[in-house]
Structure 1
Amino acid sequence: MEPKKNWKYVPAPPAAEVEALGEALGLKNSYFLSLLVSRGIKTFQEVKDFMVPEISQLHDPFLMKDMDKAVERLGLALESGEKILIYGDYDVDGTTAVTLVYSYLAGILGADCDYYIPDRYAEGYGVSQAGIQYAKDNDYTLIISLDCGIKAHERVAWCNENGIDFIICDHHLPEATIPDAVAVLDPKRKDCPYPFKELTGAGVGFKLMMAFAVANDLELDPLWESVDLLACSIAADIVPMNGENRVLAFFGLAKLGSNPSPGLAYLLKKAKKKAPIQISDIVFSISPIINAAGRMDHAHGAVKLMLAADDQEAEALAEAVIQQNLDRRVVEKEIVGQALAMFEGNDFLLSARSTVLFNPAWHKGVVGIVASKIQDQYFRPTIILTESHGQLVGSARSVRGFDVHHALEECADLLEQFGGHTHAAGLHLKPDNLQAFIEKFERIAQEGLANISLKADLPVDIQIPLEALSLSFYDKLLVRLSPYGPGNMLPNFVSGPVFVTKSPFVMKEEHLKIYVGSTPDERGLEVVGFGMKADFYDGLCAAYEQRLPIKLVYHLEVNEYLGNRTLQLRALDFASFN
């Protein structure tokens, strides 16, 4: 039985450092101590800062380039009663940012403001001409853009000519020059000295509100009430879970578990999620629903839900958005099936180092999700395109070692528009350029991935015997490492040799459940493998019937049913033990 991924073992940390940390903490569990040291947490103070974040760990917002200009311009607008338009992207980061800034400016400071989110289909991503025209037609004199704007040179110039000032709050990579706005807040600016570069768009908006409060001697408590929104933006945008993001996520999760805003509280209730809330709860139970509003209809629905004043209003607004997410699932499943079918008998697609697929009928709102699923299947840079207003529009997803944003920069002569990050991006191009783009992108992928395996890497943090796993190990130690995310991923354990102690069971046609133990005759621990039936069912059946040892990589989880809590292994990969 062959593994489906490349197991990459994290080097064991120096024994002396593990021992020293154990003495400092008064802790003897070498597995947990090794996890800490491997993640660069080597002293008592580092453990304290990591496991018990404090608000004091947040940086001074005025360290961000242009923050003083932004605060001054915002203060002038509030003093003179100007109309302020809060402009945000239609994804989770953008809508939570809009909700946070709008609720503070309008609800706490009494500003004359409203919010605007572009229509994904009519306007597309970023600052649109329709949006700034709306601002002019309705006498707005200040626009605060959130999670977008860093490339809006022409739109900002138009606003300057029409008496509208711009404050940009973004976290995407800037171009060589930045727009001529009153203030451009983006920690990724090369000339920005802000210490933490990985804030979300909502995080940058939060920093602007925080700076304004500090400059005007206002209490921070009302602003801090929105920290649950920040946790959602951090979880959904897959930013590094360290530095300020860890602090904000830590307190945001606590608020989600104790006193969430009515809209988020209703979504958690519907998903049957209770405290302590985890990042995974946001990723799987909240983010898809908030995103669905912008994917299937208009993101205004998500903002209205998150602004709901009470439980009754939240329930009324949530049901429509929840239904949109159900509709999204149906559409997504259909398109994924169509995309995978394109590989059948297509020698070019099967042998290529990149994937670019186009269908004019595909729903624009789900191309990013589809790109992720196809990328997972074939482990290569993937672009899914559909047609909108005479152009091809789509989303790109990448793999380790390949900067898809840089690749699109190399294809800029064939593109009308693009933007994003190292691992994910959006793009527009003319239909006539499609074939040339496919060929050029493939050449770039072949060069960039020449020495990279077509198998995905699977980091393995530590080898551990099944006997060392317990509810106490999970509750008292592993939980303390959360919140998890990039830069602090959920630990991947490997155990083996172990034996399959019961005949493998298939769940819902594609999932697996087995039990593993240190000997073939014990009951063993429950293991679930989602989507693993096709790859591993036969091999695991043979291992059970022939009493052959195996090894597996997994996450450690707790399964709760009827008040009982039991350990469960979430399988990530299997292999024969030899």
Structure 2
Amino acid sequence: MRWNLKSKPEKQKVQHLQNELQVDEIIATLLVQRGIETFEQAKTFFRPTLEDLHNPFLMKDMDLAVNRIENAIKNEENILVFGDYDVDGTTAVSLVSSYLKTIYPNIDTYIPDRYDEGYGISYKGIDYAEDNGISLIIALDCGIKSIEHIDYANNKGIDFIICDHHRPGEFLPKAIAVLDPKREDCSYPYDELCGCGVGFKLIQALGQNRNQTIQDLLPYLDLVATAIAADIVPMTGENRVLAKFGLEIINSNPRPGIQALVQNIKKKTLTITDVVFIVAPRINAAGRIKHGNYAVQLLTEFNLEQATEFASEIEDFNSDRRGLDQQITKEALLQIEKNQEEKGFSTVVYQEDWHKGVIGIVASRLIEKYYRPTIVFTKSGDKLAASARSVKDFDVYNALEACAEHLEQFGGHMYAAGMTLKEENYENFKNAFEKIVEETIHPDLLIPEISIDAELEFSDINPKFVRILDQFEPFGPQNMHPIFLTKNVTDTGHGKPMGKEEEHLRLFLKQQNSEGIGAIGFGLGNKLELTKNFNPFYVVYSIEENEWNGNVSLQLRLRDLESKLLSN
């Protein structure tokens, strides 16, 4: 594990912010590291408001999209809301369809079958629209590269509105409107929205057109917050505003589907982290194991009793998903060992009977073991399909682009992507991908890194400090949970391993002239020896509240510990 202590920001900027906000130096340092240098920027960061959201009509083609939908309503056309089968897609479909149904009845939804149709807009979906007299399709979280599909629909007299957030290709599809803040010709002020976020901007624009206020749209923000958490988009700008107010809805008045998913959780207040690890995997499990329609059915159900039944079904899917995930990960690790491929620059594995719905999760698991860009393939019809995951700061999408000659199709972003290829091209692709990773990756990126925000003394951890840290939430990319380094700490002798295989660690730490503080380190059980005999050691950690049986206490979440300081 590499420890990387961030450089201290300009002292003058830190002191200026410290004086402006009347906070201590460490808080001011954390803020400047996040690009917050003035009182006004800090106010927006700590007190985001719905007024901070941009006018949706600043997005290229938004006026065209709203006009087309309004004309469809006026002419009593049938509208199909189409979206991908993951959390971002199913929440987006649930959001847009449930909003449209409040103003117009002729709304249908369509989620492609992961195994039969694959990712994105499908010919089968367009045929479904034709068979059901649908003349307008709103595509969410997909479509930006579906040039042939849109041409196919146009030839059938079916119009498309695309709401996507992925990188466009060289040409845009010939849709009525293409809403994507990543379009080069789009000057929308924020381009890191998720697919559901773009869908929200569409209903915001429709609402404005109908004299609705942002307050009228608050009930939809539980879906947007869930998508932001699951899609791991930057927790900045509009995403931060939408996530903050969406979390408030989740914790106060969530839609029955989300309420049914979280009603057995004993925590009083859910965080974005809880949404990532509790809500999102269950919604995802529907599309992975059975069909994404189950997720839309749950998220658009307004009877709690019925929603609870749907949630129970999805819980079963999630249990199946966990079992498959564990089994396939085990088989993939054995394959790597058998082929003696653990020393390469990338991991590419394939087995034809692996479940397509969990290969992305398996890729992430393999990165935990062998830290390098990873692709997991399985058989899908007459082709191979794969999910790719990357390590920090390595753009796997660019690497795939460099190997595009071997692929049938691919899409995604820096850290996650999907692709298909012909089976006879597998070995050539595998070799080409290994070669491009070897040529372009910096060796340091093959060692997991802990990015440390600041050095901290235990005596600095007081109620006011923790109270201000809490206001940094919601956490996510570009606003991660602050990580601190403290030197020369000792365990009070109460350190002990935890877990069935003693893989975790619980300590009670002290530093000279400070009170003791509880600490827990998941996966750090092998470092118990370092803490014995009252020898001082160094710890890297975040500060969190531990809620247990209704009691809340402060504890350190250990990320690593060493007997000496590791160089950057």
- TM category (shorter chain) comes to over 0.9
Give the structure 1 partner of residue 164 of structure 2: 170
Instruction: Map Cα deviations across residues 498-524 of structure 1 (whole Å, 9 max, x no partner).
Output: 112224323221532232433599983
Give the structure 2 partner of residue 257 of structure 1: 251
Query: How far apart in 1 are the matches of 2:66 and 2:393?
Result: 39
Determine whether 1:138 maps to 2:138: no
Give the structure 2 partner of residue 511 of structure 1: 503
Q: TM-score, normalization: structure 1?
A: 0.94
Instruction: Map Cα deviations across residues 246-290 of structure 1 (whole Å, 9 max, x no partner).
Output: 111111011111111111112121233322x21101001100000
Give the structure 1 partner of residue 54 of structure 2: 59
Determine whether 1:114 maps to 2:105: no
SS of 2:534's partner is coil
Query: How far apart in 2 are the matches of 1:359 and 1:307?
Result: 37
Determine whether 1:99 maps to 2:94: yes
Shifted more, 256-265 versus 208-217: the winner is 208-217
Shifted more, 236-245 versus 374-383: the winner is 374-383
Query: How far apart in 1 are the matches of 2:486 and 2:338?
Result: 39
Unaligned runs of 5+ in 2: none
Determine whether 1:410 maps to 2:402: yes
Query: How far apart in 2 are the matches of 1:243 and 1:519?
Result: 38
Query: How far apart in 1 are the matches of 2:178 and 2:74?
Result: 22
Query: How far apart in 1 are the matches of 2:213 and 2:51?
Result: 15
Q: CA deviation at 1:213?
A: 1.9
Map residues 525-564 of structure 1 onto 2, 5 A cutoff: 525-533=517-525, 536-537=526-527, 540-544=528-532, 546-564=533-551
Would you say how many aligned residue pairs link Structure 1 and Structure 2? 564
Instruction: Map Cα deviations across residues 436-485 of structure 1 (whole Å, 9 max, x no partner).
Output: 011000000001114434211210001111222244432x1111001110
Q: Select the residue among 451, 475, 479 that pairs with 1:484.
A: 475
Q: Is the 8 A contact 2:348 2:430 kept in 1?
A: yes
Give the structure 2 partner of residue 185 of structure 1: 179
Q: Is the 8 A contact 1:236 1:287 kept in 2?
A: yes
Query: How far apart in 1 are the matches of 2:71 and 2:382?
Result: 42
Q: Select the residue among 556, 565, 568 that pairs with 1:569.
A: 556
Structure-2 change in CA distance of 1:450 and 1:519 (3 Å)? closer
Structure-2 change in CA distance of 1:316 and 1:60 (3 Å)? same
Query: How far apart in 2 are the matches of 1:388 and 1:456?
Result: 32
Runs of 4+ aligned structure 1 residues displaced above 4 Å come to 519-523
The one-letter amino acid paired with 2:41 is: E
Unaligned runs of 5+ in 1: none
Identity %: 45
Q: Select the residue among 431, 444, 447 that pairs with 1:452.
A: 444
Determine whether 1:494 maps to 2:489: no
Give the structure 2 partner of residue 427 of structure 1: 419
The one-letter amino acid paired with 1:293 is: A
Q: Is the 8 A contact 1:504 1:541 kept in 2?
A: no
Q: Is the 8 A contact 1:65 1:191 kept in 2?
A: yes
SS of 1:225's partner is helix
Q: Is the 8 A contact 2:392 2:445 kept in 1?
A: no
Q: TM-score, normalization: structure 2?
A: 0.96
Question: What RMSD in Å do the two structures reach over aligned CA positions?
Answer: 1.7
Determine whether 1:42 maps to 2:41: no
Query: How far apart in 2 are the matches of 1:406 and 1:574?
Result: 35
Give the structure 1 partner of residue 237 of structure 2: 243
Structure-2 change in CA distance of 1:285 and 1:177 (3 Å)? same
Give the structure 2 partner of residue 32 of structure 1: 27
Q: Select the residue among 350, 363, 384 that pairs with 2:376.
A: 384
Determine whether 1:230 maps to 2:224: yes
Determine whether 1:18 maps to 2:9: no
SS of 1:270's partner is coil
Determine whether 1:78 maps to 2:73: yes
The one-letter amino acid paired with 1:22 is: Q
Q: Is the 8 A contact 2:336 2:349 kept in 1?
A: no
Q: CA deviation at 1:86?
A: 0.3
Structure-2 change in CA distance of 1:219 and 1:43 (3 Å)? closer
Q: CA deviation at 1:214?
A: 1.6
Give the structure 2 partner of residue 321 of structure 1: 314
Determine whether 1:370 maps to 2:366: no
Determine whether 1:205 maps to 2:196: no
Q: Is the 8 A contact 2:147 2:174 kept in 1?
A: yes
Instruction: Map Cα deviations across residues 350-400 of structure 1 (whole Å, 9 max, x no partner).
Output: 221000000112111000011111112211110011111121111001123
Q: Is the 8 A contact 2:530 2:563 kept in 1?
A: no
